[in-house]
Every structure is written in C-alpha cells, then in structure tokens.
C-alpha cells in the first residue's frame, strides 16, 4: 500500500488557491464563450469563489498566529492584535 505524504499547511493553502483559480477561470470562460448565462449559476459560483478565498485568508491568518508564538512578547502582541483586527473586519 502506498503511503501519501502529509501536506504542509502552506501546501494546503496553495491547493485551495489553485482550486479557486480554477473556479475563476471557469467563470471567465463562461462569460467569453456563452451567449446566455444563468444568473443564478453565475452568482452561485462567484459566491463559492469568495467563500474559498475567505477560507484561505482565515487559514493563513491562523497559521501566521502560530508563528507569532516564537516572537518576543511585545512583537507577538502587536502581530496578534493585527491578525485579530483583520479577521474581525472580514
């Protein structure tokens, strides 16, 4: 049985971005090639892309918070406050 390597958090983020990129490419192609596009389907796909990007953003910030733990206390507090502010304003 072949064992698959566990992906790093960065590799997982890249995979998510690649999927979102594919969704965006499909949206663009539908506009370029289609004479008539279903409004509901198009808007639904745009919402899916936004949701995927929001998830990447949130995961990146959480990953970044993990690296903050290694910083000196003052810098850590600044970085964590900034991350919380970014998450809250989304």
Question: Whole-structure pTM over 0.85, yes or no?
Answer: no
Instruction: Encode pLDDT of 20-33 as tens digits.
Output: 999 999 999 988 98
Please state, in angstroms and rounded to a whole number, the distance separating the CA atoms of residues 80 and 75.
9
C-beta separation of 37 from 31 below 8 A:
yes
Instruction: Encode pLDDT of 36-68 as tens digits.
Output: 888 898 999 999 999 999 999 888 888 888 888
All structural domains of the chain with their residue ranges? 9-88
- In CATH, what class is 9-88? mainly alpha
DSSP codes, 10-76: HHHHHHHHHHHHHHHHHHHHHHHH-SS--HHHHHHHHHHHHHHHHHHHHHHHHHHHHHHTTS-HHHH
């Amino acid at each position: 049985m072949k064992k698959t390597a566990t992906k790093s958090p960065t590799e997982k983020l890249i995979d998510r971005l690649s999927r979102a990129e594919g969704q965006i490419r499909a949206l663009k192609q539908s506009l370029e090639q289609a004479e008539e596009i279903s409004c509901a389907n198009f808007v639904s796909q745009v919402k899916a892309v936004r949701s995927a990007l929001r998830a990447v953003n949130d995961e990146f910030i959480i990953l970044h918070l993990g690296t903050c733990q290694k910083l000196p206390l003052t810098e850590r507090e600044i970085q964590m406050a900034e991350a919380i502010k970014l998450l809250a304003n989304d």
